[in-house]
Structure 1
Amino acid sequence: MSLIQSIASFITAGIIAASAAAILLILLRSLFKYLDRNPFNWSVRTVGRLTDPVIHSVRRLLIGFRIEPRVAPFMAVVLILVFGYFTFMLAENILNTVAGLVYVLSRPWAGAPAAITGYVLFGFLGLYTLMIFLRILFSYLTTGYPNRWVRLLYRSTEPLLAPLRRMIPMVGMFDVSPIVAFVILYLLQFVVAGTLLKGIFNLLIQSRDLLFTRT
């Protein structure tokens, strides 16, 4: 597991560094504006060029909700933290699935086939949940459908969300089908963990060979 743990540490450090750098740029942009720095200054132009895509997207989002656009930098920082957290969750989901498969394959036992199936299903359900969340996030940030990653998210999540939209009425102007999808996926993960992975979880707890420990 040492290789997987090293990869996990590297990814965690990368996510923290990238999030910190993005937040620092947002803060510098706000500071330059507060100090009324020359907009043609190299540092001001560079920071502006790097942060414009995020700030402009957040500003459009706020205007759409009739919220004062001046709070865009603050909301951008919040979104960066949220995006960083869910990126970490994605990495954790993938690495835990890989770690579980490696653990099962390295210790053959009677319940190995069920455990392998369980880990694959559990990882897929976690990944699918994150894809739905990212689809919602990108839709609010007005990221265009021509973007290939957005197209991938829509095509991958539409098989679940489309039937739910047809069955569940709108609540005012809000589509609550993604919330129902989250509940369904969570319940499915709970079922997988309580059936296919029940035996392997007991073995992992006994051996204390967990990649991530939650408190």
Structure 2
Amino acid sequence: MNSIVNFFYLLSYLIIIATTVISALLLLRMVVSWMGLSPFGWLSYNLRRVTEPILRPLRGSFGGPVMRFDMIPLVMAIFVLATGFFIANIVNQLGIIIGRLITDPLSLRSVTAQLISLMVIAYTVLILLRILLPMLGIGYYNKFMRFTFSVTEPLLGPLRRRFVAGMFDFSPLVAILIVQIIGWILISAIS
């Protein structure tokens, strides 16, 4: 049991390290750009080559190359860091749940609470995938995207009418918060 929990803990730690490194590279790209270094120098060229695929989905939405100071790396660094910590937390919770199911498999309350926790994690991941996959070019022609749409739309549809500010849609964040709170309340009531 301990080795399974340690594996998931190590995996979540590696996810945190990877997202921190990616965010640091994005911030370094922004600093190098603001310093006015030659774009054909070794550091500038390789930073652009490594980080541009990450930034490309946001280029059209935030003015492209028209802006005086390129703020897109900062926005994407914050997004990557927040998403990485969120995914690491989900992986760590999954390891804890699997560890608890292995140590105490016969308790009906424990199994019910862990199944609710797994469903909350799965639904949260589906909401997150519905946000991220269209940014990566996967549209609703894909069967999995249609599945995520049909599963998450009953919650996201009504929230989308209320939590949109301009071009920013906060309904997925509110939906994740609602799912986490309801899951926590149900698990607390059962345990």
> In which range does the TM-score fall when normalised by the shorter chain?
0.7 to 0.9
What's the secondary structure of 1:125's corresponding residue? helix
Counterpart of 1:60, as a letter, is G
**Is 1:18 matched with 2:13?**
no
Counterpart selection for 2:127 from 115, 132, 137: 132
Distance in 1 (CA, whole Å) between partners of 2:140 and 2:37 is 35
* Residues 25 and 42 of structure 1, relative CA distance in 2, 3 Å threshold: same
* Residues 171 and 48 of structure 1, relative CA distance in 2, 3 Å threshold: same
TM-score (norm 1): 0.67
Aligned partners of 1:4 and 1:99 also within 8 Å? yes
Q: CA deviation at 1:168?
A: 6.4
* Residues 15 and 69 of structure 1, relative CA distance in 2, 3 Å threshold: same
Aligned twin of 2:98: 98
Aligned partners of 2:26 and 2:77 also within 8 Å? yes
Deviation per residue, 1:123-178 (Å, 9 max, x gap): 12122123213423455xx3323499x8635523522414762x667238567764
Distance in 1 (CA, whole Å) between partners of 2:108 and 2:56 is 50
TM-score (norm 2): 0.74
Q: Larger radius of gyration, structure 1 or 2?
A: 1
Aligned twin of 2:161: 170
**Is 1:158 matched with 2:150?**
yes
Distance in 2 (CA, whole Å) between partners of 1:3 and 1:182 is 31
Aligned twin of 1:122: 117
Distance in 2 (CA, whole Å) between partners of 1:23 and 1:168 is 30
Aligned partners of 1:29 and 1:47 also within 8 Å? yes
What's the secondary structure of 1:62's corresponding residue? coil
Q: Taking every aligned residue pair, what percent have the same amino acid on both sides?
A: 19
Task: Provide structure 1 residue ranges, at least 5 long, that are not aligned to the other structure.
Answer: 199-215
Aligned twin of 1:206: none
Aligned partners of 2:8 and 2:94 also within 8 Å? no
Aligned twin of 1:183: 178
Question: Once superposed, what is the RMSD of the aligned Cα atoms?
Answer: 3.4
Distance in 2 (CA, whole Å) between partners of 1:20 and 1:104 is 35
Aligned twin of 2:57: 57
Q: CA deviation at 1:191?
A: 1.6
Distance in 1 (CA, whole Å) between partners of 2:137 and 2:164 is 21
Q: CA deviation at 1:68?
A: 8.1
Q: CA deviation at 1:51?
A: 0.5
Q: CA deviation at 1:12?
A: 3.2
Aligned partners of 2:164 and 2:170 also within 8 Å? no
Counterpart of 2:110, as a letter, is A
Structure with higher RCO (Cα < 8 A, 6+ apart)? 2
What's the secondary structure of 1:70's corresponding residue? coil
